Amino acid sequence: MLAKRIIACLDVKDGQTVKGVSFENLRYAGDPVELGKAYSEQGVDELVYLDITATNEGRKQIYSLVESVAKNLSIPFTIGGGITSVEDAENLLIHGADKISVNSAAVRNPQLVSDLALKFGKQFVVVAIDAKTIDNQWIVHTHGGKRPTEKELFSWAREMEDRGAGEILFTSMDHDGHQTGFANEALARLSEMLSIPVIASGGAGEMEHFRDVFNVGKADAALAASIFHFGKIAIPDLKKYLRDNNINVRI
């Protein structure tokens, strides 16, 4: 059985790491490169950097940040935010990114995911899906969670897999930042219907939440931000707890 992955997510705004609740009320959490180095040293498996205002501001990625992360870290990292073309992705790859994450651009132009997978391989392409429940349906949102779409989580995830996504990063906007646990029911459904890895995001607050997202939510990886940034849970302690609970993680 493949080891379950622990991923630290760093939302970046104006060159600094920030974190909010349900995508609102952002507060600063530190330098993204220094935080990434610290997480790498503590044993996190991967990092995800999301430039959370790039899409809304209509600009490209900050390549200097990507270069700094690549120079200072030896673990895989994904970059997302503001990627609208194969050329954007190629530039990020050239500057050192291991994977790219697309969200709003994929909704606007699903063919982009097919083109990225064809050009770089599925392993390079992560499709991020931000969704919240509206009238008992998981509705996909774009532009940092600000714009609801007509797309529904499960059918959209299936289409993205069919188009060549290598992983799905599902963030529950209902759970994000609340630290009350992941959306395990939705995650389990995604994990059962897809053949590609599912990364759980939104809701981590206790070590038990990670145990549950792997056992109940069937996720392949769990991503968190606040609890790592503000020191609530140490990554070595989390991995030991998971190992003690018979979950296969890299120590």
Residue 130 appears among annotated catalytic residues = yes
Q: Given this model, what pLDDT does residue 52 score?
A: 59
Share of the chain above pLDDT 90, in %: 72
- Could you report the per-residue pLDDT of 228-239, keeping only the tens digit for each? 988 899 999 999
Q: Which residue has the higher pLDDT, 92 or 176?
A: 92
Ranked by mean pLDDT, the top range of 17-21, 29-33, 44-48, 175-179 is: 44-48
How far is Cα 135 from Cα 76, in angstroms, rounded to an integer? Answer: 38
> In the structure, what pLDDT confidence band is assigned to residue 145 with cuts at 50, 70 and 90?
confident
Q: Are 164 and 114 in contact (CB under 8 A)?
A: yes
Nearest to 55 by CA among 7, 108, 19: 108
What single DSSP character describes residue 157? H
Q: Where are the domains of the chain?
A: 5-244
Q: Given this model, what pLDDT does residue 61 score?
A: 55
Q: Given this model, what pLDDT does residue 225 score?
A: 86
> What does the pLDDT average to over 70-99?
93
- The one catalytic residue in 11, 45, 98, 176 is 11
Q: Given this model, what pLDDT does residue 22 score?
A: 47
> In the structure, what pLDDT confidence band is assigned to residue 27 with cuts at 50, 70 and 90?
low
- The one catalytic residue in 88, 98, 130, 212 is 130
> What does the pLDDT average to over 173-197?
94
Q: Given this model, what pLDDT does residue 187 score?
A: 98
Nearest to 87 by CA among 116, 109, 67, 113: 116
CA 102 to chain centre: 10
Provide the whole-model pTM. Answer: 0.91
Share of the chain above pLDDT 70, in %: 91
Q: Given this model, what pLDDT does residue 60 score?
A: 53
What single DSSP character describes residue 104? H
Residue 11 appears among annotated catalytic residues = yes
Name which CATH class applies to 5-244: alpha beta
> In the structure, what pLDDT confidence band is assigned to residue 82 with cuts at 50, 70 and 90?
confident
How far is Cα 79 from Cα 95, in angstroms, rounded to an integer? Answer: 11
> What does the pLDDT average to over 199-216?
97
Mean residue pLDDT of the chain comes to 90
Q: Which of 20-24, 159-163, 205-209, 231-235 has the lowest mean pLDDT?
A: 20-24
